[in-house]
Structure 1
Amino acid sequence: MDYQLIIKLWRKSLTDETFLTTLESELKAALGDTVELEGYDVSPKEINVFMTTADPRHSFRRARSVLEKLGVVQGVSAAFRLVGGASFTSIWPLRVMRKFTLP
């Protein structure tokens, strides 16, 4: 698994944070062995979910269905980078010049 996929949930778009445990279990069920969930970090403005994968675009497409089911896809952005890398490639939302950063 060469890539780290990061899914960013903007806190202002969430009704509460209790769904994080549900989100992790739903992602694990949907993605199976294609990803390794690494956990998440929480800041005042955002929650970042980290996972490693061999195919970040495919993994995000599958994860997006979970996010849609939970009703949080509108407050999400996602990007990937090589494991240990510093440069992100944004994959959601679909905007040409979207810049992705971590706190």
Structure 2
Amino acid sequence: MDQQLVIKFWRKSLTDEAFLGSLESELKQALGDSVELEGYDVSPKEINLFMNTADPRQSFRRAREVLERLGVTNGVSAAYRLIGGARFTSVWPLRAMRKFTLP
């Protein structure tokens, strides 16, 4: 697992954050051993979920199914990078208008 997938939730777009309590367990169930969940980074504007994986695109496709089931796809973006790297490759939305960054 040499890639870090980051799923960003913009707090303005969330109706509430109750889904966070069950998100991690649902992702573990859906993704199994293909990812290693690293935890969250929470700021006033966004919540970032970090996970290590060998195949970030496939991992996001499977994670997106969980997000859709929980009803939290609005305001979500995702990108990956080499673990410890600085340059991100965006995977969602498909035609991202702005560069993916972390606070």
What interval of TM-score do these two structures reach, taking the shorter chain for normalisation? over 0.9
Normalising to structure 1: TM-score of the pair?
A: 0.95
Unaligned runs of 5+ in 2: none
Over the aligned positions, Cα root-mean-square deviation in angstroms equals: 1.1
The superposition leaves residues 34-57 of structure 1 with CA deviations (integer Å, 9 ceiling, x where unpaired) of 000000011111000000000000
Normalising to structure 2: TM-score of the pair?
A: 0.95
Equivalent position of 1:101 in the other structure: 101
CA distance in 2, matches of 1:96, 1:43: 21
What secondary structure, in the 3-state scheme, does the structure 2 residue paired with 1:74 have? Answer: coil
| Corresponding pairs, count | 103
Equivalent position of 1:65 in the other structure: 65
- TM-superposed CA distance for 1:91, in Å, is 0.6
CA distance in 2, matches of 1:59, 1:96: 19
Unaligned runs of 5+ in 1: none
Equivalent position of 1:88 in the other structure: 88
Q: Percent identity?
A: 81
Q: Which runs of 4+ in 1 moved over 2 A?
A: none
- TM-superposed CA distance for 1:70, in Å, is 0.7
